[in-house]
Structure 1
């Protein structure tokens, strides 16, 4: 059996895509980090700030789907370059006088630019690695998000605390332009030979999107991803305000603690991805090593969030919230890998993008629901507790569905069988 190895230069591309995701999540996290100063300066209620947080996701999913089909036909290098440029330029209007309308408009544009980021980055990386060696590079790219937030939060928080939140947005714009220049000079397209999706269906065969998208594994992936992302969306928009308004921490300390979910998430995702890949190499089925593995992790996260309001002290509460929002994050790596198994490479960009679009649509509703809970509760602390319980229920449901229906081998065989039947039935 021939062993297919990563193409030469693959890890350099992974490093650039890692930096790409670092900037991506720093752009997302800053709205929550600067939440209290923004609400104070613009005189926003919690529900209004929830609208600001949700506005980022208004075009996020639509853009991900559209770009997913585009990247099937256009080299991912140029798509990533345009996206990075949009991210950078949209930060600079924040340096001037800002009203809530301008803030929302810029967050909508940023969301449209960032919606396709993760699936396009994975699609680009998959061109450099064979299937059974994709978990680790995917985990590294995904954890650019965690490392980016861990590195960026102290720096951005220092700018917010010592200067103001406007300069923090400008700093992100400068960093974004630096990445665009580096990618334009160094970024390349992988050309590794794609493994056959099945013995009967090669990587260049076309499967109707209806069959792909309505397969149980794909539908379960959407649900699992949505459940996991619901918690992430709350962390991005509301974790720092929760620490300040709900638990009474100072902004400087709250800014430091905001990195906690991302630090923990880094170790969870890298460790879980390594274990999943080891299981696959040892002969475990993808159903066990990827499907059941991620389903259990998401369920445990949902249970932790449901238990958080009943914790006896602040440390226990934070521990459960961090566990509840980080354990499900393994699905961001394992779900695309599962879909990559059942999808021809010529359609993979679109399918991964649609998966991301449906999953991240949780970001449209999660921040607004939390803001509404806070505004309608007797106290801020009670409102946050209610919001995290809703998040726990959504996460748990997504995990249960993933646990039951993420079955890539069975769906791959079914898709291949239908494809073969169509070939036989078609006229010569």
Structure 2
């Protein structure tokens, strides 16, 4: 297979760097859009009269259509090119954020979250797919990480700004701000991104001429493989943890730990900064190990599994301590280590299929992964609502999250092993 013309001698080209920056900003905006609901949870719950169980439903609603549209988005990108699909997706986000200004009931808020989830469903997989096309395989781990860290950095950077807006001007001002930023990004994306529509259509027609059944027969076994299923389960655990961090952690810090708005605006950014640092660190370590060993197992899997287990242990320790700073530190570590699948999951999967199927496999991965986002926030709300105290409910929810990370991380560590075909694919330039 020919080398990617946008890369040279294993280095990331200038054109690729520009695209990576745009995709980084895309994930920043996407995750700020997700996180805003957590920052606004207290005033929103008070204004709409929502209890913890209802808020759990709101948190889960974001992912009701997320899985379906993650698959649809990946397929559309393979069919029509990533540029136009990503632009349309970002326009949906901005429109929904604007419509949230007029929310006045639980039902209205629920609908906006469902539509926003549908619009954001393909975001991560499309960003990973677009970035993969511009990166040499030797730089895949760190390259995808540079896009992925826009997620935690988006939350970290937006936290003090959005919390300040909510405190000074009300929660609606924060939604308006994210709408405006999203629209500005779309303009720059349409101006700068390379039009890949003709290339995607040409590949699609070529695949049809070769026979759709052949393409399906090559892609279908990947979805049914033990490796894909285990990595998807690991992603499920990651998103369970990730969405608890987005939807419930700010509420826990404010209501249970009694942090002031000023302190919260600083502390709320901590886990997301830690996630950024850890993802860069572990992906760099993974790339070096992969380059040295030429092994997906030693270079990728043996990093992913242990880090997930470290996240599980951190969650448990965080629920056993009393001092605020220690609790915050360990819960932040649990969230931090639990998010490693968002980087190494797509990296491992990119070695399993040919390039024309990368969009689809990443879409399916995010579809399964996002199921954790449906279940996690609701179960957390249920535990909080039905426990003797809010603190007891939160601690039980964090411990349950730790158990899930422990089981899923352990399964991946022990049993993900590429078969012969995948080993061959991982060595294809």
TM-score by length of 1: 0.90
Q: Secondary structure at the match of 2:350?
A: helix
Shift of 1:83: 0.5
Shift of 1:214: 1.5
Q: Give the aligned partner of residue 354 of structure 2.
A: 344
Aligned with 1:188: secondary structure? coil
Distance 1:414 1:218, change over 3 A: farther
Match of 2:226 in 1: 216
Residues 143 and 266, structure 1, Cα contact 8 Å, conserved in 2: yes
CA distance in 2, matches of 1:239, 1:15: 29
Is the contact made by 1:297 and 1:327 (CA closer than 8 Å) also made in structure 2? yes
Question: Shift of residue 409 of structure 1?
Answer: 5.3
Residues 411 and 360 (structure 1), Cα distance of their counterparts in 2 relative to 1, 3 Å cut: farther
Q: 1:10 is matched with which residue: 9, 16, 20?
A: 16
Partner of 1:181: 187
Q: Is the partner of 1:134 in helix, strand or coil? A: helix
- Assess if the C-alpha contact under 8 Å between 1:233 and 1:367 holds in 2: yes
Output the CA distance in 2 between the equivalents of 1:163 and 1:75. 40
User: Deviations 1:312-364 (Å, cap 9, x if unpaired)?
Assistant: 43222222211111112222111111111111111111111111110121010
* 8 Å Cα contact 1:223-1:401 kept in structure 2: no
Q: Kindly indicate whether residue 142 of structure 2 is the aligned counterpart of residue 132 of structure 1.
A: no
| Aligned counterpart for 1:325 among listed residues 329, 335, 338 | 335
Whether contact under 8 Å (1:17, 1:141) holds in the other structure is yes
Q: Structure 1, residues 62-116: CA drift from partner, whole Å, max 9, x if none? A: 1101111221111100110001110111111222352221111111111001011
Q: CA deviation at 1:248?
A: 1.4
Deviation at 1:185, TM superposition (A): 0.5
In 1: Cα distance, 2:265 partner to 2:62 partner: 21
Provide Cα deviations, 1:133-178, integer angstroms capped at 9, x if missing partner: 1111100100011221121111111110001001110110000000
Q: CA deviation at 1:236?
A: 0.4
- Contact preservation (8 Å) 1:33, 1:255: no
Query: Is the CA contact 1:217–1:411 (under 8 Å) kept in the aligned structure 2?
Result: no
Partner of 2:61: 55
1:33 to 39, 47, 54: 39
> 1:305 Cα deviation (Å)?
1.2
Q: Counterparts of 1:334 and 1:304 in 2: how far apart (Å)?
A: 20
Gaps in structure 1 of 5+ consecutive residues = 192-204, 417-428
Q: What CA RMSD, in Å, does the superposition of the two structures yield over aligned residues?
A: 2.1
User: Counterpart in 2 of 1:366?
Assistant: 376
In the comparison of the two structures, how many residue pairs are matched? 405
> How far apart, in 2, do the equivalents of 1:389 and 1:410 lie?
38
The aligned residue for residue 426 of structure 1 is: none
Moved over 6 A (4+): none
The answer as to whether partners of 2:354 and 2:425 remain within 8 angstroms in 1 is no
Q: Which of residues 240, 246, 252 is equivalent to 1:236?
A: 246
Q: What secondary structure sits across from 1:9 in the alignment?
A: helix
Deviations 1:160-215 (A, max 9, x none): 00010011101100000000000010011578xxxxxxxxxxxxx84533311111
Does structure 1 retain, via aligned residues, the 8 Å contact 2:242–2:338?
no
| Structure 2: 5+ residue stretches without partners | 4-8, 200-213
- Would you say the 8 A contact 2:351–2:425 is kept in 1? no
> Which structure 2 residues correspond to residues 151-190 of structure 1 after superposition, within 5 A?
151-188=157-194
Shift, 1:13, TM fit: 0.2
CA deviation string 1:210-253 (max 9, x = no partner): 31111121111111111111111100000110001111112332
Cα distance in 2, alignment partners of residues 258 and 4 from structure 1: 38
CA distance in 1, matches of 2:154, 2:352: 31
Stretch moving more, 181-190 or 269-278: 181-190
What's the counterpart of residue 73 of structure 2?
Answer: 67
Distance 1:411 1:398, change over 3 A: farther
Task: Provide the rounded CA distance (Å) in 2 between the counterparts of 1:369 and 1:363.
Answer: 10
Deviations 1:4-38 (A, max 9, x none): 54455000000000000000000000000100010
Say whether the 8 Å CA contact 1:279–1:289 is kept in structure 2. Answer: yes
